[in-house]
Amino acid sequence: MKAKFLVSLAFAALFAAPFTAAAQTTVVPESRAQVQLSFAPIVRKVAPAVVNVYATRKVQQQAMSPLFDDPLFRQFFGGGGGSMPRARMESSLGSGTIVDRSGVIVTNFHVIKDATDVKVALADKREFEADIVLKDERTDLAVIRIRDKGDYPFAEIGDSEGLLVGDLVLAIGNPFGVGQTVTQGIVSALARTQVGVADYRFFIQTDAAINPGNSGGALVDLQGRLVGVPSAIYSKSGGSIGIGFAIPASVVRFVVDQAKTGNKVRRPWLGATLESVTADVAESLGLSRPQGVLVAGLVPGGPAAQAGLKVGDLLLTVDGHEVDDPDSFGFRFGNRPLGGAVKVDLRRGKTPTAVQIASVAAPETVPRDTRVVEGSSPFAGTTVVNMSPAVAEDLRLPFDLTGVAVADVTPGSPASRVGFQKGDLVLEVNGVKIDDTRTLLRAAQTESFLWRLVIQRDGQQVRLAFRG
């Protein structure tokens, strides 16, 4: 039985390219000169803009046996220095593409995640320190900038919407750290949404060889324009088997534009939950095939509700682009700039209609009041925030949640060792209902022999107990 494994490429570079309608006509070579046609001019144009990205991060490492992670074991044998984590430096290698002559570079989020220092090496072997401008885990993209001012070679961001299945593409990156490498293939598929390496799943699939080290590189068309950034592959061995995925240039452009005005991506908020249309649902709706997405819930006063959407509406297009599942809707709607409105065509019952949904950011209805919990409680090492639609957007949680959420967990901390995760909702501590971060902080500072907690994770309530 053959197994498929999705490998997140901590390093990669791709280039994809569409042909014109005329160029897509099959032509049989008629001379030796035609047989000797080469991609070299494209490579000469783009390769100088593809860089190696070296990221260094500090990680915590237990000094002694992992048994010291068990509080009961430490109680019998003493914590001592054995349970104290020690720091070590860890490096990763990826690829990136310069997209502006000032030295602005696009790479993958997972290439520079938690990095404390970032360096880039150009194709001409010059090396520079780089600053992280913006990181966006939801798209698996990051923007960094070379510190030294200069006039750097760059690749133009192209139009991924113009790609067609069968178009020739080139991938450029540093696979396995062997040095800059170019591979060639075709666009195998478009709008792949079942690829779990980012929230906004809408990937270009290609058979151009992509391997570890290519992540963050370039997918370019035959005009040398960036049409995608590689992010993952399907592989059993960790090497290329001809199924690679790249983030479309339309998302790259959106993230780069956001980096010009701040260090955080701000997206439109729909204020609704959506469901896929199955074959059975399609039949019940009188559809010839599954299409569109269904509105399953609305946030009172949210943009969708204000635009007049109702539960049960079948959403078909976003600004003229068809949507077939919640992921494709999220991609089309979530990558619109703030301000103005987004046109959504829908069907209500058997009646077609359209609405204009305001493109506004999720509101922070309650101050976040971000707190870092210290001490020796099970919460020590967590960063907690008050819930609001804006926090729900950031943490990818349902918009109707209230209370206190875990926004971050420090590696090696007590909270990390007892299993807290980003996105956990804290409901109760030792019988006390947690309504805000101040209440949680007071509860965490109380000495207790036995900690009894109620948290919510992935929609399920979990009761936990820990010795103090």
Domains belonging to the chain, first-starting first, are: 1-25+37-262 (2.40.10.120), 272-358 (2.30.42.10), 371-467 (2.30.42.10)
Which residue among 188, 215, 235, 240 is the active-site one? 215
Q: What is the pLDDT of residue 15?
A: 29
- Tokens 């965490």 belong to 444
Q: What is the pLDDT of residue 138?
A: 84
Is residue 110 among the annotated active site residues?
yes
Range of lowest pLDDT (35-44, 84-93, 97-106): 84-93
Is residue 215 among the annotated active site residues?
yes
Q: How far is Cα 37 from Cα 45, in angstroms, rounded to an integer? A: 16
Q: Is 340 exposed, middle or buried (0-12, 13-18, 19+ CB in 10 A)?
A: exposed
pLDDT band at 29 (very low <50, low <70, confident <90, very high): low
CA of 212: how far to CAs of 94, 148, 178, 189, 442, in Å? 8, 28, 11, 21, 46
- What average pLDDT does the structure give for the chain? 81
Is residue 38 among the annotated active site residues?
no
Q: What is the pLDDT of residue 227?
A: 92
pLDDT band at 423 (very low <50, low <70, confident <90, very high): very high
* Tens digits of residue pLDDT in 40-56: 888 999 999 999 999 88
Range of lowest pLDDT (116-125, 195-204, 324-333): 195-204
Q: How far is Cα 127 from Cα 150, in angstroms, rounded to an integer? A: 13
Which residue among 100, 140, 325, 436 is the active-site one? 140
Q: How far is Cα 148 from Cα 155, in angstroms, rounded to an integer? A: 19
pLDDT band at 238 (very low <50, low <70, confident <90, very high): low
For residue 25, is pLDDT > 80? no
Q: How far is Cα 28 from Cα 117, in angstroms, rounded to an integer? A: 51
At 117, list the tokens: 């220092």
What is the value of pTM for the model shown?
0.73
Q: How far is Cα 273 from Cα 118, in angstroms, rounded to an integer? A: 38
- Tokens 């998302």 belong to 251
Q: How far is Cα 135 from Cα 255, in angstroms, rounded to an integer? A: 9
Which residue among 83, 92, 95, 110 is the active-site one? 110
Mean pLDDT: which of 10-14, 206-210, 461-465 is highest?
461-465
Phi first, then psi, for residue 138 (nearest 5°) are -65, -30
pLDDT band at 468 (very low <50, low <70, confident <90, very high): low
193 or 257: which leads in pLDDT: 257
For residue 35, is pLDDT > 70? no
For residue 309, is pLDDT > 90? yes
Closest C-alpha to 338, from 361, 356, 369? 361
Which residues have C-beta within 8 Å of that of residue 348, sequence separation ≥ 6?
A: 310, 312, 313, 314
With left for phi above 0 and alpha for psi between -120 and 50, is residue 177 left, alpha or beta?
A: left
